Structure 1
């Protein structure tokens, strides 16, 4: 079901799943091009959670998906403010689930319980996009480097992986890290050697060259989140 929240003079789309009268889980997608590759996965596990009687919200961030806001006006702090507004208008929100870079935003929602899948620091996302830009420049016969690109980005913004990022976004992203809390369930993939509270079988869809879907992964995520919320 489609809903919307009003933020900064604009109506932003929000998909709503599950019972209308239940407390809600707020789903935070990965950032930038990674979000496009896992959109189907997020919609599917939102629907599966609804089948399990759990309500959830999947909002568009300003500048993303159906938003009419230019991406080059967005920043980490702006997205956090938008999520606070979304939770206030479409809540009550009692839990948050974030994937990858979405974990950079969930700290804005206070002491809500959080579920995270493979969280990442903002600087890591930035370096990945810079490497993609350097490879693209090389194919076009242009010599570039991370240092030179970052100097330009901090001064006047830059386009990375098809995303127009402002100097403010670059600065905030470069220093952003998932916030700490005792109320976090950390989930990773089965072959990830880092510590985790739970494991999901499968390969990260955000590493695919094109958007893809994994029904088994969506079901596993929904089951894990449902058990966590009910526990």
Structure 2
């Protein structure tokens, strides 16, 4: 079901699945172009959670998806404020699940229990997008470097991977890292050598060139989330 929440003078959309009564899980997908590649996965995960009897909210952030706000007006702090507004209007929320760059935002609601899949620092996301731009520039016969692009981005903003990012966004993103918390469940993919409390079937869809879906991954994520939320 599509709901709407009011933030900064605009109506932003939010997908809600599951029962209407009781608290919900707030779902935070990856950021920027990575979000486009896993949108289907996230929606199917929310539907699978509904089958477990768990409600979920997946809001559009200002400047993203169907939002009418230009992305170059957004920043990490603005997105966190929008999540507070969303959950106050459409909540309550009892748990938060975030993937990749979404983990940069999951501390907005305080120390709620948090589930994280493959968390990433903001600087890591920036470097990935910069590498893509440098490769694109090279194909166009343009010489560019990460240092020069970052210097420009911090003062004038920049377009990376089709996203128009303001100087504010660049500075906040470069400094952003997943916040610490007392109740964090860390999930990683089965072949990831790093330590984790949960293992998810499949491989990162955000690394693919085009959007894709993996039904087994959606089921795996939903099952782990449901078990975690029920304790």
Relative to the length of structure 2, the TM-score reads 0.99
| Counterpart-to-counterpart distance in 2, 1:83 and 1:42 | 17
Pairing 1:86–2:86 present: yes
Alignment of 1:67-146 (within 5 A): 67-146=67-146
The residue that corresponds to 2:54 in the other structure is: 54
Q: Could you tell me how far 1:111 is from its partner in structure 2?
A: 1.3
The residue that corresponds to 1:211 in the other structure is: 211
Contact conserved, 2:42 with 2:218, CA < 8 A, in 1?
yes
* Corresponding residue SS for 1:134: helix
CA RMSD after TM alignment: 0.5
Offset from partner CA, 1:24-51 (integer Å, 9 cap, x none): 0000010000000000000001001011
| Counterpart-to-counterpart distance in 1, 2:69 and 2:99 | 23
The residue that corresponds to 1:6 in the other structure is: 6
| Counterpart-to-counterpart distance in 2, 1:41 and 1:131 | 26
Alignment of 1:144-223 (within 5 A): 144-223=144-223
| Counterpart-to-counterpart distance in 2, 1:169 and 1:2 | 28
**Unmatched 5+ residue regions in structure 1?**
none
Residue-pair matches, total: 231
| Counterpart-to-counterpart distance in 1, 2:60 and 2:9 | 15
Post-superposition, which runs of at least 4 consecutive aligned residues in structure 1 deviate over 2 A? none
* Corresponding residue SS for 1:133: helix
* Corresponding residue SS for 1:108: coil
Q: Could you tell me how far 1:141 is from its partner in structure 2?
A: 0.4
Contact conserved, 1:22 with 1:54, CA < 8 A, in 2?
no
